[in-house]
């Protein structure tokens, strides 16, 4: 059931807001209510995607504040081509205003400050203010450290269309849209586009935002928007490490604004001339990207795609099951969580059975040969890495067979345990660890999980130290918890691999960008989806919280999680259906669906899923 909202402005000049709820999706709304009070509501109330906002044009003789408020409200609507918003503009500015050029996102709806003096003149300037948290350009959400936003609206008094009197209209405004976060999230949906990791049969998630309903400018429905965004290519930040088989200029056939699967779940995608003549193998890679991307939409469910040439003939067909082979969650197949028990041995426990049974892993990490501090399990589930309890040494060993403890892969020379090795992390093939030694800080990679150690350069650290790290399943993104001057930040780096003529591979982590700029501190993290993290942190002046965030810095609809006391570690996986696990005062706990945290093991540390 949805709600439709008509907005008439806000602030001192607010006239009110009428709200009515449809009885059902099929029958629709029979009529507007003809009784009841009008409720005054400010624009940014909450990101309810079922609420529809309808803009209202300016009334005759509207005062300047009403024009300002009405225009700001109209930008939050689904009005086709923003036609109603344009009625608040002069003809000159209507031609210059490009609402699709950029979206500026503030924590709350922008505030407008009326100028001093009276309205006898023919020109007024209203200041717009708020807290800037992000911009959205070509569907890409770019979060920033919250900062003060400043803009302005210039109003002029012009002759009314009927020639009788004058009316106030906006003759200059910020380009694009300026929205509060709740209005933005109400109108937009986060979707992962998928591209191929360079030279691999692994996909990489590239998060973007599309309109929840029909796009006001392109008139495309969500499915057409998503496919069109996929054709636009990956974000510039991701481009150096991914491939896309789409030919230059490839896209949907001209005029296609709506796509929907038939009764059997098949979606037919008409392509333009640039994409109509690709080979069968390339076509199926394109179709794989489309199917994995369309999985991000809750509805409709697409079971098969048929890519069509411009003339309507089939180019290739692919099923959802064929595409799912490349899904990132397939790289994390285990429902079990590994952890360090109270005897500093590596143990394993299932997350879903009602009766929790702890078991020790085989080999030197589980039989007591090594006092274990932190662990990581290879995605093959056969091997693991462990850092000794004193943080000095990193070892690799089997966890499915018995073997003696081998020599360490690397050792830290730092005098203090807290300055030694971080917890390890695996990508698809390689093992990673950070040595936090102040005298020789370094990020190390072990190809195939074995020696020798390869030192990896990290660009943009600017004196910060790597406290912990988590590599994504695709191997091309790394989440880094950094510390500097007593402050901690969460950054995402791009992992680049370059092979020279001799076959040697040079690896680097570059272009760090803030993943949680709104958190004043972060103490623990884990990947929790293809482009989602779960973090433990605090906002400025706030209390510790566990929440989900997107790698672009935006909040997820299920961002906040039930409270938990003194969380020291979290574990999740790319498969979002797996349970979230954490370590707190209550021991090793799991978060059950639609329930609260439940204790699994009374004493445990360093919980990890494979990876």
Q: What is the CATH number of the domain that holds 537?
A: 2.120.10.30
Q: Which of 278, 295, 328 is at the close of a domain?
A: 328
Average pLDDT (439-444) is: 96
- Indicate if 94 and 181 belong to the same structural domain: yes
Q: Which of 299, 328, 357 is at the close of a domain?
A: 328
Q: Which of 186, 208, 224 is at the close of a domain?
A: 186
CA 185 – CA 492 distance, rounded (Å): 23
- Indicate if 400 and 513 belong to the same structural domain: yes
Whole-model pTM over 0.85: yes
Task: Say if residue 285 is exposed, middle or buried (CB neighbours under 10 Å; 0-12, 13-18, 19+).
Answer: buried
- Indicate if 323 and 376 belong to the same structural domain: no
pLDDT of amino acid 116: 65
- Indicate if 462 and 348 belong to the same structural domain: yes
- Indicate if 376 and 506 belong to the same structural domain: yes
- Indicate if 594 and 482 belong to the same structural domain: yes
Asked whether residue 572 is assigned to any structural domain, the reply reads yes
Q: What is the DSSP letter of 281?
A: H
What is the number of residues in the chain? 611
| Structure tokens that stand for 487 in this block | 């402050």
Residue from 425, 463, 481, 407 nearest 610 by CA:
425
> Domain limits at 369?
329-608
CA 535 – CA 528 distance, rounded (Å): 9
Q: Prior bond to 300 cis, omega within 30? A: yes
- Indicate if 256 and 333 belong to the same structural domain: no
Sheet order of strands, 532-538 included:
521-527, 532-538, 545-550, 555-560
* pLDDT, tens only, 234-253: 999 999 999 999 999 999 99
Asked whether residue 495 is assigned to any structural domain, the reply reads yes
In b/e form, how buried is each residue of 510-546, taking b as 16+ CB within 10 angstroms? eebbbbbbbbebbbbbbbbbbbbbbbbbeeeeeebbb
- Indicate if 346 and 360 belong to the same structural domain: yes
- Indicate if 205 and 250 belong to the same structural domain: yes
User: Distance from CA of residue 305 to its chain's centroid?
Assistant: 25
As a whole number, the mean pLDDT across the chain is 87
- Indicate if 19 and 143 belong to the same structural domain: yes
* pLDDT, tens only, 159-205: 887 777 899 999 999 999 999 999 999 999 999 999 999 988 899 99
- Indicate if 334 and 477 belong to the same structural domain: yes
Torsion angle defined by CA atoms of residues 229, 232, 236 and 239, in that order, rounded to the nearest 10 degrees: 100
CA 369 – CA 362 distance, rounded (Å): 11
Q: Prior bond to 452 cis, omega within 30? A: yes
Asked whether residue 89 is assigned to any structural domain, the reply reads yes
Asked whether residue 191 is assigned to any structural domain, the reply reads no
Our count of domains for the chain comes to 3
Task: Say if residue 154 is exposed, middle or buried (CB neighbours under 10 Å; 0-12, 13-18, 19+).
Answer: middle
| Structure tokens that stand for 167 in this block | 């009316």
Where helices occur in 52-190 by DSSP H, the ranges are 64-74, 83-86, 91-96, 181-187
User: Distance from CA of residue 33 to its chain's centroid?
Assistant: 39
Question: How many Å is the Cα radius of gyration of the chain?
Answer: 27
Element containing residue 223 per DSSP (H, E):
helix 222-231
Has residue 216 got a pLDDT over 60? yes
- Indicate if 247 and 355 belong to the same structural domain: no
Q: How confident is the model at residue 576 (pLDDT cuts 50, 70, 90)?
A: confident
As separate numbers, helices (DSSP H) first and strands (DSSP E) second, the chain gives 7, 39
Residue 205 has a CB neighbour count (10 Å cut-off) of: 25
Has residue 22 got a pLDDT over 90? no
């Amino acid at each position: 059931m949805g709600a439709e909202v008509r907005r008439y402005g806000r602030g001192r000049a607010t006239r009110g807001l009428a709200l009515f709820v449809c009885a059902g999706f099929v029958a629709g709304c029979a009529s507007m209510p003809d009784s009841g009070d009008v409720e005054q509501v400010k624009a940014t109330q909450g990101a309810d995607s079922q609420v529809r906002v309808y803009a209202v044009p300016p009334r005759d003789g509207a005062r300047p504040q009403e024009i300002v408020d009405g225009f700001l409200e109209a930008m939050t609507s689904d009005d086709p081509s923003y036609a109603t918003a344009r009625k608040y503009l002069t003809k000159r500015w209507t031609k210059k205003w490009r609402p699709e050029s950029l979206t500026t996102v503030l924590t709350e709806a922008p505030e407008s400050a009326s100028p001093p003096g009276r309205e006898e003149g023919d020109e007024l300037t209203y200041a717009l203010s708020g807290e800037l948290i992000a911009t959205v350009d070509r569907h890409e959400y770019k979060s920033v450290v919250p900062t003060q936003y400043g803009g302005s609206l210039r109003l002029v008094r012009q002759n009314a269309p009927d020639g009788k009197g004058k009316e106030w209209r906006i003759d200059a405004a910020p380009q694009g849209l300026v929205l509060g976060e709740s209005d933005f999230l109400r109108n937009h949906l986060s979707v992962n586009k998928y591209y191929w990791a360079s030279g691999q049969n692994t996909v990489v998630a590239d998060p973007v935002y599309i309109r929840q309903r029909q796009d006001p400018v392109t008139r495309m429905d969500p499915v057409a928007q998503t496919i069109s965004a996929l054709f636009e290519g990956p974000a510039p930040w991701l481009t150096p490490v991914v491939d896309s088989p789409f030919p230059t200029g490839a896209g949907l056939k001209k005029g296609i604004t709506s796509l929907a699967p038939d009764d059997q779940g098949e979606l037919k995608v008409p392509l333009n001339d640039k994409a109509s003549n690709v080979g069968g193998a390339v076509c199926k890679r394109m179709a794989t990207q489309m199917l994995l991307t369309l999985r991000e939409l809750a509805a409709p469910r697409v079971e098969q795609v048929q890519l069509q040439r411009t003339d309507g003939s089939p180019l290739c067909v692919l099923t959802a099951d064929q595409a799912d082979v490349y899904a990132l969650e397939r790289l994390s197949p285990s429902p079990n969580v590994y952890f360090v028990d109270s005897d500093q041995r590596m143990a394993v426990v299932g997350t879903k059975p009602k009766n929790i049974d702890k078991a020790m892993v085989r080999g030197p990490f589980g039989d007591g040969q090594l006092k274990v501090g932190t662990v990581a399990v290879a995605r093959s589930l056969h091997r693991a890495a462990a850092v000794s309890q004193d943080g000095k040494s990193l070892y690799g060993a089997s966890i499915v067979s018995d073997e003696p403890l081998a020599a360490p892969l690397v050792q830290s020379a730092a005098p203090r345990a807290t300055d030694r090795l971080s917890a390890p992390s695996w990508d698809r093939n390689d093992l990673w660890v950070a040595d936090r030694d102040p005298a020789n800080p370094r990020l190390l990679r072990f190809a195939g999980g074995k020696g020798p150690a390869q030192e990896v350069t990290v660009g943009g650290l600017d004196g910060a130290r790597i406290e912990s790290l988590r590599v994504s399943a695709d191997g091309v993104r790394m989440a880094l918890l950094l510390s500097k001057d007593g402050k901690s930040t969460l950054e995402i780096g791009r992992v680049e691999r370059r092979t020279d003529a001799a076959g040697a591979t040079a690896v680097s982590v570059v272009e760090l960008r803030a993943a949680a700029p709104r958190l004043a501190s972060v103490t623990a993290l884990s990947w929790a989806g293809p482009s989602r993290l779960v973090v433990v942190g605090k906002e400025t002046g706030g209390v510790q919280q566990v929440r989900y965030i997107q790698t672009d810095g935006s909040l997820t609809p299920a961002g906040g999680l039930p409270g938990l006391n003194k969380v020291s570690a979290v574990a999740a996986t790319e498969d979002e259906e797996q349970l979230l696990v954490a370590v707190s005062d209550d021991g090793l706990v799991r978060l059950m669906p639609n329930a609260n945290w439940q204790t699994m093991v009374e004493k445990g540390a360093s919980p990890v899923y494979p990876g």
